[in-house]
Amino acid sequence: MNMINRRQFLQITGAGAAGLITGSMTSLLSAGGAGAAEHGSSGFTPDLDVALKATADDISILPGDPTGVWRFQGQLLKGDRASLVNLERSYLGPIIRARTGQKVRIRFTNELADQTIVHWHGLHVPADMDGHPRLVIPGGETYVYEFEIRNRAGTYWYHPHPHGLTGPQVYGGLAGLFLVSDDEEEAAGLPSGEYDIPLVLQDRAFDRNNQLVYLSGHRMEQMNGFLGDWILVNGQPDFILPVATRAYRLRLLNGSNSRIYRLAWKDGGPLTVIGTDGGLLEKPLQRRYVMLGPGERLELWADFSRYPVGSETALVSLPFDGGMMGGGMMGGGGGSVLPNGAEFPVFKVKVNRREESTLTLPQQLSTIKRYDPADAVNREDPKRFHLVMRHMAWTINGRTFQMEQVAPEERVAMNTLEVWEFINEGGGMGMMGGMDMPHPIHLHGMQFQVLQRRGVMHEGYVDEGWKDTVLLMPGERVRVLVRFGDYPGLFLYHCHNLEHEDMGMMRNYLVEATTSDA
Ligand code: C2O
Ligand code: CU
Ligand code: CU
């Protein structure tokens, strides 16, 4: 990847970057694959076996010069052909598709100059399969993932997770979708095949030579997070979705580093929400708009049957108070001309053909068993996590990330239900006024349920259903119910504003197996 700020880029990537830029690295895929087989644990027979590599490439994004990117490339070694789908003309990684109950092996080879590791965002996997930063591998090495899909059907995703480098690596292009299906989802009767459309929303900034521009290295920019002035959908600018006069399932992922979208239809009709991070809701919901923070997913039922052929609409992001530091005086992170909360079109929809379809919006989508707060081990005493700034760094309870460190409130017993409360009310801990920011808080390993939200906005959240990332605008606090099932070990929770994460707004939690579990 070629960046405008070469000095900072070289700092980030080290001397080996020269090899990357000239594209002189040879493929390590076959060597990695062969070595990987030896390390595969005996007795694990995968339904799906994929060789995945992170590598440097050039790809056309804007008219003119191609853009240097980093990207995931996959090769199917075993499994149904449909389980690995490459997006054409996109830096995004292949869409991996699997069914609940399937066993998946992914032999990941790092062809970057930097260390990296891959995290399966939203998937419930053992601690050593989760891509914790302590598991990073250097360039040239392979990490073999083997896990069973225990999640319900849903729109999950994958991206790198090396400490301090997640922001630049995701920004450079390393991200992909991981779609899980199951019988319940199939029975729901939703649009499928070409009518089931993944839409990854990301923002980027380019220099005059079409190369990606990241942060200039100013602390204040990192405190805000990166904001680009180009909105890309599935890696493409000025994205147009051609549709027929019928219903679609739209799966949206906010894969941006720090941009928040306040999504709405341009013509003002309500959004029909059918799913969130952890899959389908029980019943469809109508929302005038939905806030989508980095890392969050949203599934929509979009019916274009009442639109005349030839007509157009758009998904837009409505204006909101983005809570920038310095009262917006910074003009947005990264020197962006498009601050968080600016209004812009996300993508256009063009109705280009007539098609009859008998599909109607199902009134029941899935069954979700609600946790009972009375079953929580700390129901009277939620664990509190204050999202605060300290010594010019975003922290959780005043602490930043230390590789193996676990504080007392970060220990949990396996197979127990807990109430956690995230508090984004500023103040305390030596905060200065006017520095409140949104924080999308993400837990690894588990899907949780939102128990309660208190704050300013009441309409723009979809707190129903299963979540792994929850957005807190300034002044808000959210209580969630989490069950730490199945897997002992060290997992992460963090702000999914990737610049906040990289500066240490991330912590471990430790799931401890009790003797009765062992
Ligand atoms: Cu999507 Cu720890 O991340
Ligand atoms: Cu995650
Ligand atoms: Cu944050």
Give me the pLDDT at residue 346, please: 98
Q: Is the pLDDT of residue 20 over 60?
A: no
As a whole number, mean pLDDT of residues 147-167 equals: 98
Give me the pLDDT at residue 122, please: 98
Give the span between the Cα atoms of 261 and 258, in whole angstroms.
Answer: 10
Give me the pLDDT at residue 324, please: 65
How remote is the C-alpha of 60 from its chain's centroid?
24
CA of 122 to the centre of ligand 1 (A): 8
CA of 121 to the centre of ligand 2 (A): 4
**Of 56-70, 237-251, 342-356, 414-428, the least confident:** 414-428
Confidence of residue 294 (pLDDT cuts 50, 70, 90): very high
Q: Is the pLDDT of residue 26 over 50?
A: no
Give the span between the Cα atoms of 312 and 307, in whole angstroms.
Answer: 8
Q: Is the pLDDT of residue 336 over 70?
A: no
Q: Is the pLDDT of residue 24 over 70?
A: no
Give the span between the Cα atoms of 140 and 142, in whole angstroms.
Answer: 7
Give me the pLDDT at residue 458, please: 67
Give me the pLDDT at residue 126, please: 98
Cβ count near 27 (within 10 Å): 12
pLDDT digits (tens, 9 = 90+) for 354-379: 999 999 999 999 999 999 999 999 99
CA of 120 to the centre of ligand 1 (A): 8
For the CA of 492, the closest atom of ligand 1 is 2
As a whole number, mean pLDDT of residues 405-429 equals: 91
Say which ligand is closest to the CA of 223: 3
Enter the pTM of the model.
0.91
pLDDT digits (tens, 9 = 90+) for 426-473: 864 444 445 689 999 999 999 999 999 998 766 899 999 999 999 999
What percent of the chain has a predicted confidence (pLDDT) above 90? 81
Give me the pLDDT at residue 392, please: 87
Give me the pLDDT at residue 441, please: 98
As a whole number, mean pLDDT of residues 246-254 equals: 98
Confidence of residue 325 (pLDDT cuts 50, 70, 90): low
Residue whose CA is at the smallest distance from ligand 1 atom 3: 121
Task: State the residue for tokens 């100059």.
Answer: 113
Tokens representing 274 are 């059918």
Which secondary-structure segment (H or E) carries 261?
strand 261-265
- DSSP letter assigned to residue 22: T
Give the span between the Cα atoms of 106 and 95, in whole angstroms.
Answer: 13
CA of 447 to the centre of ligand 2 (A): 10
pLDDT digits (tens, 9 = 90+) for 463-500: 999 999 999 999 999 999 999 999 999 999 999 999 99
Strands of the sheet containing 279-287, edge to edge, are: 236-237, 230-233, 196-204, 247-254, 297-303, 271-276, 279-287
Give me the pLDDT at residue 478, please: 97
Which residues are near ligand 1 (CB < 6 Å)? Answer: 119, 121, 159, 161, 295, 442, 444, 492, 494, 496
As a whole number, mean pLDDT of residues 240-253 equals: 98
Q: Is the pLDDT of residue 159 over 60?
A: yes
Say which ligand is closest to the CA of 120: 2
Give the span between the Cα atoms of 298 and 199, in whole angstroms.
Answer: 10
CA of 510 to the centre of ligand 2 (A): 15
pLDDT digits (tens, 9 = 90+) for 395-410: 999 999 999 999 999 9
For the CA of 295, the closest atom of ligand 1 is 1
Say which ligand is closest to the CA of 295: 1
Give the span between the Cα atoms of 155 and 318, in whole angstroms.
Answer: 24
**Of 2-6, 280-284, 354-358, 455-459, the least confident:** 2-6
Q: Is the pLDDT of residue 330 over 50?
A: no
CA of 430 to the centre of ligand 2 (A): 30
Give me the pLDDT at residue 220, please: 85
CA of 212 to the centre of ligand 3 (A): 23
Task: State the residue for tokens 């409505």.
Answer: 318
For the CA of 494, the closest atom of ligand 1 is 2
14 versus 103: which is more confidently predicted? 103
What percent of the chain has a predicted confidence (pLDDT) above 70? 87
Q: Is the pLDDT of residue 19 over 80?
A: no
Give the span between the Cα atoms of 311 and 345, in whole angstroms.
Answer: 16
Confidence of residue 6 (pLDDT cuts 50, 70, 90): very low
For the CA of 469, the closest atom of ligand 1 is 1
Give me the pLDDT at residue 203, please: 98
Give the span between the Cα atoms of 418 and 467, in whole angstroms.
Answer: 15
For the CA of 131, the closest atom of ligand 1 is 2
For the CA of 444, the closest atom of ligand 1 is 2
Give me the pLDDT at residue 41, please: 59
Confidence of residue 15 (pLDDT cuts 50, 70, 90): very low
CA of 496 to the centre of ligand 1 (A): 6
Tokens representing 257 are 């580093």
Give the span between the Cα atoms of 182 and 203, in whole angstroms.
Answer: 32
Say which ligand is closest to the CA of 169: 1
For the CA of 121, the closest atom of ligand 1 is 1
As a whole number, mean pLDDT of residues 228-255 equals: 98
Helices vs strands, H then E, count in the chain: 7, 31
pLDDT digits (tens, 9 = 90+) for 167-184: 999 999 999 999 999 999
CA of 308 to the centre of ligand 1 (A): 41
pLDDT digits (tens, 9 = 90+) for 110-152: 999 999 999 999 999 999 999 999 999 999 999 999 999 999 9
Q: Is the pLDDT of residue 189 over 80?
A: yes
Give me the pLDDT at residue 516, please: 61
Residue whose CA is at the smallest distance from ligand 1 atom 1: 121
For the CA of 501, the closest atom of ligand 1 is 2
161 versus 328: which is more confidently predicted? 161
Give the span between the Cα atoms of 92 and 70, in whole angstroms.
Answer: 9
427 versus 27: which is more confidently predicted? 427
Q: Is the pLDDT of residue 21 over 70?
A: no
CA of 119 to the centre of ligand 1 (A): 7
Q: Is the pLDDT of residue 103 over 60?
A: yes
CA of 224 to the centre of ligand 3 (A): 8
Say which ligand is closest to the CA of 395: 3
Residue-averaged pLDDT of the chain: 89
For the CA of 161, the closest atom of ligand 1 is 2
As a whole number, mean pLDDT of residues 294-323 equals: 96
Say which ligand is closest to the CA of 325: 3
